[in-house]
Amino acid sequence: MRIYADRAVAFFLVLGLWHFLSLSYGTDAVAAPTATWQRLVTLISTGFIGPHLNFTLSSWIVSVVLAGVVGLLLGLLLGLHRASGLIFEPLIIALSSLPKVTLYPMVLLMCGLGQSSKIAFGFIHGVLPIMLFTLGAAREIPLHYVKTARTLGLDRITTLRRVILPSMASGIVSGLRLGASLALLGVIIGEMFGAQYGLGFLLMNAIDVNDTAQMAAVALMLIFLALALNALLRLLIYVFDRHALRGFTQLSAS
Amino acid sequence: MSARSSLSYDGIRLILITSFLCLLELVCQMGWMQSQVMVPPTVMMRTLWKLLHSDAMVADIAITFSEAFQSLVIAVVLGMVLGWLMHRWSRLSDVLYPVLSSWYSIPVFALYPMLIAFMGLNQRPVIAIGVLMAFSAMALNMLHGLQSIPNVLNKSARVMGVRNFAFLLHVQLPAILPSLMTGFKMAGTYAFIGVIMAEFILSPRGLGHAISFAYNDFDTRSMYALMLLVIFVSASVQWVLIQIERRVLAHRATLGSV
């Protein structure tokens, strides 16, 4: 109970700080919390936000699916084949520490100004952590699991499905969660340049006309969206983890 | 793992990168890709060489580095203090931990326009974005490190009467050095990414700004030359961070080496 009280205090502290900032710097610099809330309600109730939210979410979903499939397959391949893993891992780490926003002009030139460039940019952000986590998870599989599987005479497919994948489950899902969150960041950054739709576009538009209420409202919405999606992924992972672990313990018990 | 085989992996990696560059060169020189979309690597390097001779470019690079360095320092100090406070007071960590552990998913650059509005269009909001991107990794690593200190260390320190600041300096910090270095490395990477991103979105100076300027100017050659530069710079930043980590951890007596 005390936790919730503490959290409420923290929430109102942040709100108070925000209000103080807008009072001391003026609403031309920082919109007041109340004005932001009103703008948020207007954006939602008039249906203005609909197409933009739709654009962002659909780009995100497509990029996450693509990044998931490609990242898992490549990560598994590199993780199970030792030599190629050792060769490519430093390259993937170097790529993932690159400020990818600098690559965006290239993506725009190659994919055009439409939705595909946003999907591609989300994909670039999402695929690298998924690959790295999958690779790491594959490398961490205890050797005696594989040896036991071989002793039990399991064929390759069964070993993969029943031993390798379940023991990688938690690594894979952490990678997917990180990748999905970063893909959302990628999509939003993509929308900030050369787009007609999306939450990122709304943010950039608000910057261009210096509409501070809209800036704050969109920023707030982006933060809520990111946190909500992150919480949803956590929940999915929790359910999935329990399921996978149950299958795993059943196997090891039998 | 012998030194020889790891050397040959480096060799294979070098061959792969070189052949990729040659392929790109071929594709561009044969005209299979428009010169407005991609320029050959040799042209990128030649343009980069020319750009590096201009004072404006050198100033841009210096500004980006100074901004990234300042954000790293602030983020490391802030993160360590925050992590220590969270370890000390569990009520604080109850409130902050859920926020920090999903911090990476928050688009902090959405706050950038507001930061500009009350800090001005100068280096400060750029540094602030770098700090916001980087501090959470440092705080989480500090916290996780402090929580994983073996209890025997805490107990023997107490028996020997080591308390307060001496305890932090002589027991806690040395014990969590690996976590701290992990946090430091991550914070360095994030600070650099944050600074470049902020410069790219809106800034009068810096490497990120130079790239977005070249793109808006349809100057594809300079744009790719600068991207190449950022790849070099980012790789060397990584290298430096890893070297620092190695240096720091080399003098550490671990359980294995005692």
Lowest mean pLDDT among A70-84, A92-106, A172-186, B173-187: A92-106
Task: Note whether A87 contacts B16, CB cutoff 8 Å.
Answer: yes
What pLDDT is attached to residue A241? 67
The mean pLDDT of A37-62, rounded to a whole number, is 87
Judge whether residue A210 has pLDDT over 70: yes
Task: Note whether B196 contacts A216, CB cutoff 8 Å.
Answer: no
**pLDDT tens-digit series, residues A147-202:** 888 888 888 888 888 888 888 877 888 888 889 888 998 998 888 887 788 888 88
pTM: 0.83
Whose CA is closest to A104, among A215, A204, A214?
A204
What pLDDT is attached to residue B257? 41
What's the topology of domain A31-253? MetI-like fold (1.10.3720)
Convert chain A into a string of H (helix), E (strand) and C (coil).
CHHHHHHHHHHHHHHHHHHHHHHHHCCCCCCCHHHHHHHHHHHHHCCCCHHHHHHHHHHHHHHHHHHHHHHHHHHHHHHHCHHHHHHHHHHHHHHHCCCHHHHHHHHHHHHCCCHHHHHHHHHHHHHHHHHHHHHHHHHCCCHHHHHHHHHCCCCHHHHHHHHHHHHHHHHHHHHHHHHHHHHHHHHHHHHHCCCCCCHHHHHHHHHHCCCHHHHHHHHHHHHHHHHHHHHHHHHHHHHHHHHHHHHHHHHHHC
What DSSP string describes B146-170?
Answer: HHTS-HHHHHHHHHTT--HHHHIII
The answer to whether the Cα torsion of B103, B60, A187, A67 is positive or negative is negative
Q: Pick the residue from chain B with its C-alpha nearest to A207.
A: B113
Judge whether residue A117 has pLDDT over 50: yes
Interface of A with B in 208-227 (CB under 8 A): 212, 215-216, 218-219, 222-223, 226-227
pLDDT along chain B (258 residues), means of 10: 63 86 82 75 85 84 90 94 90 85 81 80 89 92 87 84 80 83 88 89 83 81 85 83 82 51
Task: Note whether A102 contacts B230, CB cutoff 8 Å.
Answer: yes
Question: What residue spans define the domains of chain A?
Answer: 1-28, 31-253
Residues of chain B positioned with their CB less than 8 A from the CB of A25: 117-118
Q: In Å, how far is A58's CA from the nearest CA of chain B?
A: 18
Query: Residue A24: which pLDDT band, with cuts at 50, 70 and 90?
Result: confident
Residues of chain B positioned with their CB less than 8 A from the CB of A83: 9
Query: Residue A254: which pLDDT band, with cuts at 50, 70 and 90?
Result: very low
What pLDDT is attached to residue A130? 92
ipTM surpassing 0.85, yes or no?
A: no
What pLDDT is attached to residue A251? 53
